[in-house]
Every structure is written in structure tokens, then in C-alpha cells.
């Protein structure tokens, strides 16, 4: 990396994560629980969702069903609590309000985690700042937190993980100018890197990419080919180049929705089919961009509930596909099939949509043995060509005929400006007289 990119890329992120958050909330109000093994159960007391350090040491794993560890719990007198989400939500708010005083640029990432952008804070010693954050949160709420500080969000996640497993760090690990990065990243299993996860992790391990370091050093071409732009950004992040800003998520989306209100009431099933086809095209483009397939689709249809004089019909239906796919023509076929089941004659529909869910990485693909005669490679090539042309020459340059050519149902956008930069037909024109 050249000096120039170092200068351009001068971000500093702190990831602040509450330790064993639900257990810690219980302990604040019940100090007798300190130093005791404690677990918190999910809704209906189904699974273990939070564990104290002592409970972890006794071998209680995250997410395990309660009945499976009942024996260990009784034998070791582990204290058990049902989730008290009102309490945890309120404690979370207090922690987040305090964190917001340390920087105006903050992302509330989950109930017990926040990313802080420290770039514009006038401090020189980020480690000391991290300690100050930790002290403030503990003093005001009683909740212990871990702080990981790094040049990228992905690295701050890694630093934070080391804090939790290394008491010598005293709750703060600053790797902004850390000199033994190779050794550090070599210790992080690749599937534990933020945004990579189990399925990609297995694929990478089969290619001998075992650690965060291996991933950082793997070929750009290979990563882009197998994991798309998301994988590439993770690689840059591990190299120390910030590629994910606050409020940006690196993980592939778990569900992709495309829906819109129509520009007029639609009661003709052919027009609805065009709309559903168009939404499916959009959603599947996004699906392929993140190198994923979906296993389920949901289609919904609704009338205008505010128009009290109209008959109302709102319904949605989900179906499971015979195999994971991102092949637009197939998904359109299933989506329009569902639509025709939902559709009722004589209703004024105002909105419809498609939701792709049960999303999995596109490789390794699990094929349905009964459908194996299909030429998957050819179908992939067709979709790739379609996407490439549409990226190059503008949206919908090439499209699938079922989405309709006139699209009378489309949203009214009479006041929209031209797409100067993304559509060849809407470039700025200058008349020279
Ligand atoms: Mg936590």
C-alpha cells in the first residue's frame, strides 16, 4: 500500500461491545450473581442466549437448547433467567446514550454493540480514550464493555474479540499501529471474520484459506469471483483500508425485497404480472450482485386500506423453490404462479412486491438431484451477460419480456430529473445554435 492511500485512509474505528450483555444486566440489579455461573434463556425458555464467563467455562455453548444442558445446570447450580427484554432494552439505551457523548459519529450496531468513528476526535492516545469509554460506561451503568480500536470496522471487530479472550489487555486493544499484524490475523479462523461466516468459510477452507491472514493475502480475482464485491471489501478491510463506513453492513443480505406502490389502481392480472416480473428482475439482480441464491420467495398484493369505499384484499404467500437459484426467468415463473393464486378479480390493487429469502451463497451449490439435467453453467453465463450489459449501458437495456414494455402500472414520477449518469438516453444534451 502506498503512502498516498495511507493518507487518504485515515479512519479510526472503535467497536464497543458489552460483555455477556444480558447476564451483565441481571448482575447490575442482583450483585449476588457476580462470580457465579449464569445463563439467560431465549423466548419461551428455549435456548441459551447469554452466558457468564463461569457458565462458558462449564461448557455451556451459545444457542444450545435448555433441555440439553439441564443436567449440567443443576449439577453446577448455574443460575437461570428468562430473557427480560424490557430491562435489556433500557440498559442498552443508557449505554448507547453514554457512547454517543464520545463521538458524534456512531453506529448502533446491535443491542450491545456500537461502532464509533474517532477520526474527527482531537485525541492523540486512542488507547487512553478507549479506557475512558470503558470507565464511563461501567461507572454509570455497571455494564463491563470491551473496546477494539483499528483502522477499519472489520479489524476493530477482530481487536474486540482478542480483548474478550485476553484479560491482560484490560478491556481495550488498539491495533491502529500494531506491528505484529501477520501473527494476529494468523490466529483468527477465516469463518470468524466479520461478514464471511460459515458457508463461505467452508468454501475458503477447502481452498486452504484458513485464517484472516490467508484471506487478506488471497488473490483479488479469486475472492471477487467466489464472493463478489462483499468479499473484496473484506480483503481491503483486513489490509487496513477502510471499505465499510458507519451504517454500512458487510454481510450479504438475508432477505431481499423489491416492492413499490403503483402509479394507478391495477385490477388486471396481466398488468400485475408485469409488475411482479419487474420487481423480481430488480431483486434477483441484487441477489446475484452479492453472489447468492435464494431458496424461498414471497409475493404480496394489497389494496388501498385508506380508501374505505373500496373492497379490501391483502394477502401474501411464500413458496419454497425446488433448488437454490438466482436465475431470473425461473424466479419470475414461480413469482407469477404465486401471484395468480393470490389474485382476485374486481379488486383495486395499489401495491405488490417480491421478497427473496432463505438466501445462501451461490457456491457451493446444492443441486436437486431431480433437476440435474439443467445446464447450470449456461444459465449462469446468460445471467452474467445480462447483468454486465445492464451495468454498462444502463438499467433495463436488456430485459425480460414478461415485465412489459409500456409498464402502465409504474409509479408516477413526472417530476423526476434525468438519470444523467446512468442511462445513455438521458445524458445531458447541449444545443449549440
Ligand atoms: Mg456482546
* Number of neighbouring beta carbons within 10 Å of residue 121: 15
CA of 417 to the centre of ligand 1 (A): 45
Tell whether 165 is covered by a domain.
Answer: no
Residues 287 and 221 in one domain: no
CB 21 within 8 A of CB 157: no
Ion ligand 1: residues, CB < 5 A: 17-18, 21, 112
Q: Which residues of 200-223 are buried (b: 16+ CB within 10 A; e: fewer)?
A: bbebbeeeebbbbbbbbebeeeeb
231 is in which domain, residue-wise?
A: 185-239
Residues 277 and 336 in one domain: yes
CA of 112 to the centre of ligand 1 (A): 5
Residues 313 and 199 in one domain: no
User: Distance between CA 348 and CA 314 in Å, rounded?
Assistant: 11
Instruction: Tell me the sheet residues that pair with 262.
Output: none
Residues 278 and 219 in one domain: no
Residues 309 and 350 in one domain: yes
Residues 231 and 305 in one domain: no
Residues 312 and 394 in one domain: yes
Which CATH number covers residue 38? 3.40.1170.60
pLDDT digit string (tens) for the chain, length 433 residues: 433 334 446 899 999 999 999 999 999 999 999 999 999 998 778 899 999 999 999 999 999 999 999 999 999 999 999 988 888 988 998 999 999 999 989 998 888 999 999 988 888 899 999 999 999 999 999 999 999 999 999 999 999 999 999 999 999 999 999 999 999 999 999 999 998 988 899 999 999 999 999 999 999 999 998 998 889 999 999 999 999 888 776 667 788 889 888 888 999 999 999 999 999 999 999 899 888 999 999 999 999 888 888 899 999 999 999 999 999 999 999 999 999 999 999 999 999 999 999 888 887 655 565 555 567 788 888 888 888 887 777 777 777 777 777 777 776 655 656 655 556 666 666 666 5
**What is the pTM for the complete model shown?**
0.67
CA of 18 to the centre of ligand 1 (A): 4
CA of 50 to the centre of ligand 1 (A): 9
State the total domains in the chain.
Answer: 3
Amino acid at each position: 500500500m502506498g503512502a498516498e492511500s495511507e493518507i487518504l485512509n485515515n479512519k479510526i474505528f472503535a467497536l464497543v461491545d458489552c460483555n455477556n450483555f444480558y447476564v451483565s444486566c441481571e448482575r447490575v440489579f442482583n450483585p449476588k450473581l457476580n462470580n457465579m455461573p449464569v445463563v439467560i434463556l431465549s423466548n419461551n425458555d428455549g435456548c441459551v442466549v447469554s452466558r457468564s464467563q463461569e457458565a462458558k467455562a462449564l461448557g455451556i455453548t451459545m444457542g444450545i437448547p435448555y433441555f440439553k444442558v439441564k443436567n449440567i445446570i443443576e449439577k453446577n447450580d448455574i443460575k437461570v433467567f428468562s430473557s427480560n427484554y424490557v430491562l435489556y432494552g433500557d440498559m442498552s439505551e443508557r449505554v448507547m446514550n453514554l457512547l454517543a457523548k464520545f463521538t458524534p459519529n456512531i453506529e448502533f450496531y446491535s443491542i450491545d454493540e456500537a461502532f464509533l468513528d474517532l477520526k474527527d476526535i482531537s485525541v492523540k492516545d486512542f488507547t487512553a480514550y478507549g479506557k475512558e469509554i470503558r470507565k464511563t460506561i461501567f461507572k454509570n451503568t455497571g455494564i463491563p464493555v470491551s473496546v477494539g480500536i483499528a483502522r477499519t470496522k472489520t479489524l476493530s471487530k477482530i481487536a474486540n474479540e482478542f480483548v474478550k479472550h485476553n484479560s491482560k489487555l484490560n478491556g481495550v486493544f488498539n491495533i491502529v499501529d500494531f506491528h505484529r499484524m501477520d501473527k494476529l490475523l494468523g490466529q483468527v479462523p477465516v469463518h470468524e471474520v466479520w461478514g464471511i461466516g460459515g458457508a463461505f468459510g467452508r468454501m475458503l477452507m477447502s481452498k486452504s484459506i484458513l485464517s484472516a491472514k490467508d484471506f487478506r493475502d488471497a488473490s483479488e480475482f479469486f475472492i471477487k469471483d467466489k464472493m463478489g464485491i462483499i468479499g473484496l471489501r473484506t480483503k481491503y478491510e483486513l489490509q487496513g483500508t477502510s471499505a465499510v463506513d458507519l451504517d454500512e453492513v458487510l454481510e450479504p443480505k438475508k432477505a431481499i425485497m423489491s416492492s413499490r406502490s403503483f402509479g394507478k389502481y391495477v385490477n388486471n392480472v396481466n398488468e400485475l404480472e408485469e409488475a411482479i416480473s419487474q420487481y423480481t428482475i430488480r431483486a434477483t439482480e441484487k441477489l446475484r450482485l452479492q453472489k447468492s441464491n435464494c431458496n424461498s420467495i414471497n409475493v404480496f398484493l394489497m389494496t388501498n386500506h385508506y380508501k374505505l369505499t373500496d373492497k379490501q384484499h391483502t394477502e401474501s404467500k411464500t413458496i419454497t423453490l425446488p433448488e437454490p437459484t438466482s436465475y431470473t426467468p425461473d424466479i419470475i415463473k414461480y413469482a407469477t404462479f404465486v401471484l395468480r393464486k393470490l389474485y382476485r378479480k374486481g379488486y383495486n390493487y395499489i401495491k405488490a412486491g417480491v421478497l427473496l429469502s432463505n438466501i445462501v451463497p451461490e457456491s457451493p451449490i446444492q443441486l436437486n438431484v431431480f433437476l440435474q439435467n439443467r445446464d447450470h453453467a449456461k444459465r449462469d453465463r446468460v445471467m452474467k451477460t445480462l447483468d454486465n450489459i445492464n451495468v454498462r449501458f444502463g438499467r433495463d437495456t436488456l430485459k425480460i419480456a414478461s415485465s412489459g414494455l409500456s409498464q402502465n402500472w409504474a409509479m408516477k414520477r413526472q417530476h423526476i430529473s434525468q438519470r444523467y449518469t446512468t442511462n445513455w438516453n438521458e445524458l445531458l444534451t447541449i444545443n449549440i445554435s
